[in-house]
Amino acid sequence: MKKVIKIANLDCAACAAELQEELEAISGVTEVSVDFVGQRVDLGYENAETLEKAVYAISHFEEVEIVDGNAPQKKDRHLKEILSIAVSLALFVPALVCQLLSVNQWVCFGLYLGAFVAAGWSVVRAVFRNIPKAFRGGIHLGLLLDENLLMTVAAVGAFAIGENLEGAVVMILYQIGELLQSIAVGSSRKSITRLMELKSESAIRITAEGQEEISPDELCAGDEILLRKGDRVPADCRLLSASASIDAKSMTGEAYFKELRAGDELLSGCINAGEAVRAKVVRPASESAAAKILELVENSASKKAKPEKFITKFARIYTPIVVLLAVIVAVVPPLFQGYNFREWLIPALNFLVISCPCALIISVPLTYFSGVGSLARCGVLAKGAVCLDALAGVKVAAFDKTGTLTEGRFSVAKTNGGAHVLALAAAAEQNSSHPLAQAFAGLAAEPAEACEEIAGMGLSATVKGKKVLVGSLRLMREHGISVEEVQGDRLAVYVAEEGKFLGSVEIEDWLRPEAATALAELKKAGVEKLAVLTGDTRARAERSLQSLPLDEIHAELLPAQKPERAAELKAQGKLLYVGDGINDTPVMTESDVAVAMGGLGSDAAIEASDFVLATDNLSALPRAVKGAKKTRKIVVENIVFSIAVKVALMALSLFGWIPLWAAVLGDTGVMLLAVLNSMRMRRKIK
């Protein structure tokens, strides 16, 4: 069983790691992921007793609270932390003045100790609360050797050797760093939670009795609604009025109005920028584009990328090793230097301070979380950080043709063979779930019996006692029927009755207007090869796609052949596949990264994908690739920078070239710089 538990007051990256380790130690917990940025715990458990133990552990972990998912988010005022630091500084400054004026050393000591207590009481309390937890059900070094213990030992050690000023400064600088970290994380969290604004608070439903204001959750497919000027669209719907002007910035990231005509689809989350209009709901609010965005962004943290998993494992091994090195530095050299332990205690304490891996633990997941949010603001929904990592390495991109590179809105353009041909085609196609069948919706047709789909080729049915075949040129040839092939860019549906060819129906489908630009931008973003996998004839596919910058066109493919071609492309580099239909699911499974068209895409395709284009706009795809590459680059920068600076500080501390307060300042500075670097992902992706 699985459960998502929403929490509050977990603003520390290391604390999140400790909570995760504590939950993992509970018998019956199968999997757990603690997301301190998104303020949630994804828990897998075996039974109700396990869940109860986990809930108890979460609610009794420091100041963490379990909150109702509908509860308003608390504002980050940081009043307690600011007050603690202010009191500490109010005691520290007089202590420093007294020391400079050579006032009684016990007065100085008392003031410094007061400054330490004011700033560090919460840190010391956390140490004593964690000690019993660290030995519950085994030894959990992550809970024992956390940043609270390291800072407490460093500060107390400084007082023990008479370095009272450094003992107080260590705790003050640490608490200032924690406050700045919390503010930075809170700022990033707010930028992500602004996506919640996509959700409408109410909807106006039009009924026979008049108008009624209801919750969007009460809307059903087929309901007619009124959208006033400035109203946010509460659910995906289709425009009934003649025209509408829509502000889709929240969904697409582009600051311009989109003009729609009657019959066009309005995605939830957009705003009506024009006069009041009417629309018909096509999907309930729970299945709308806005709901998909919110769900995927919320769930993205549970799918961690390799660097995130590496950092978690690294911190668990790295910190105990550095603590051991600190003990060695404090004990071994003095044995060969006349037992002068005091001289080596400061380098040892520096090791303890510097070993805190906060910069890595916080900056890496924060970067991925910000990356997921940035893509969402562009209309691209990522299912997790691991998906961003995969997208960053894509070298080959393959596309389905119909509904992906084309608009997928089919209509009958021409009939070759008279009204009887069109009537037979409509009779068979109206029993099909294939996207092409929508071209025949609403046409007059005789009832068809024994309708059977022939994978990748068409349909067979019985109409008025006669066997009818409707489908591709290949279908006709498979049944030995002589056919006159239709030339041109339109898709032809051939019709035969009782083994005799009667004619064809030409179906029109237009290329997406943004397709050429989007594919060109993909090339600029680093994708080396672009290909199309389609079941259409080669001649027609080449004619209809000739304006696109494609490297390869694989045509006349049956559904079973598409994964084979995808495997061949995959051998040339990491493969990205973009599709919209249920028949694309096997190819998506074969590819390294799968992208589904959110508006037109089938539920199966969306489920199998790693990314969803919520607005069906291909222009968002190159921006997603750029965003993924930028995310990966910032993650690598933070890892390399943090480790390099820490190693340098450790080396300097061995030679006694830096005081304890400088080690704390350096550690805090690294953490803040890594966090600020992570926040670059909040910028708009161009």
Which residues are designated catalytic? 400
**Cβ-count burial of 198 within 10 angstroms (0-12 exposed, 13-18 middle, 19+ buried)?**
buried
Query: What proportions of the chain, in percent to the nearest 5, are helix, strand and coil?
Result: 50, 20, 30
Residue 288 φ/ψ, nearest 5 degrees = -80, 170
Task: Look at residues 148, 79, 82 and name the one whose alpha carbon lies nearest to residue 120.
Answer: 148
**Which residues does 128 contact at the CB level (< 8 Å), separation at least 6?**
none
Angle at 578 between CA 575 and CA 580, to 5 degrees: 150
- The CA distance from 150 to 323, in Å, is 9
* Tokens, residue 646: 């820490």
Point out which residues pair with 529 in neighbouring strands: 396
- The CA distance from 386 to 382, in Å, is 9
* Tokens, residue 447: 């009832």
Query: Which DSSP category does 628 fall into?
Result: H
Point out which residues pair with 245 in neighbouring strands: 259
Which amino acid is located at 666 in the chain? G
Please name the helix (run of DSSP H) or strand (run of DSSP E) that holds residue 277, with its range, or none: strand 277-281
**CB contact at 8 A, 170 and 353:** yes
- The CA distance from 407 to 413, in Å, is 15
Which amino acid is located at 30 in the chain? T
- Cα 379 to chain centroid distance, Å, stands at 12
Which amino acid is located at 62 in the chain? E
- Cα 412 to chain centroid distance, Å, stands at 40
- The CA distance from 663 to 683, in Å, is 32
